[in-house]
Amino acid sequence: MPRAGLTTDRLVSAAVELADEVGFERVTLSALARRFGVKDASLYAHVGGLGELRARMALRAGGELIDRIAAAVAGRAGKDALTAFAGAYRAYAREHPGRYAATQTRVDPALAAGSPAMRRTTGITYGMLRAYGLAEPDLTDAVRLLRSTFHGYCALEAAGGFHDPRSVEASWDTAVEALHVALVNWPTGS
């Protein structure tokens, strides 16, 4: 019988908190079981293993991230929306490093397809980019450019990779401005 009080939702909540404390890669079923004072086997009544737990963590963190982004971009378009989107993305990565790392995990497409957070992420991101007049396949390319830029910057910043005396904030602002210019002048027909 499942231990009283233990649910999938509680496990995922504890796992994302643990990820922020110790890092996403260090979240294990054993560490989570210790947090609840139970044996590892008790968790299998709620998650099918570490892979499923990490997928659920990715979906939870992705939902939190897109909620922040949605609030930031509400009522904005063009450069204002891009700047708000970028700022919310970076703030989440800085405030929740373990959860943010979870968002970079590949999730089984079938599980992702059933996730309201994933559908919302697509809708908000593509909606923001449509204001730049983009349509497929350019939308997909633009999403990949934004994600690569934002993730790369956040990963380098978290690792202490910026040593130049120039302000990291000024460089971030310049990067977002450069993305805006790229989106306005998008090379269509590729």
- Which tokens belong to 156? 């380098």
Confidence band of 164 (pLDDT split at 50, 70, 90): confident
For residues 21 and 12, what is the distance between their CA atoms, to the nearest angstrom? 14
Looking at residue 159, what is its pLDDT? 93
**pLDDT, mean of residues 121-145:** 94
Q: The whole model's pTM is what?
A: 0.92
Looking at residue 4, what is its pLDDT? 52
Confidence band of 100 (pLDDT split at 50, 70, 90): very high
Looking at residue 190, what is its pLDDT? 57
Q: Which residue has the tokens 């994933």?
A: 118
CA dihedral 14, 95, 149, 64 (to 10 degrees): 50
**pLDDT, mean of residues 132-158:** 96
Looking at residue 189, what is its pLDDT? 65
Question: Among 91, 187, 92, 59, which Cα is nearest to 133's?
Answer: 187
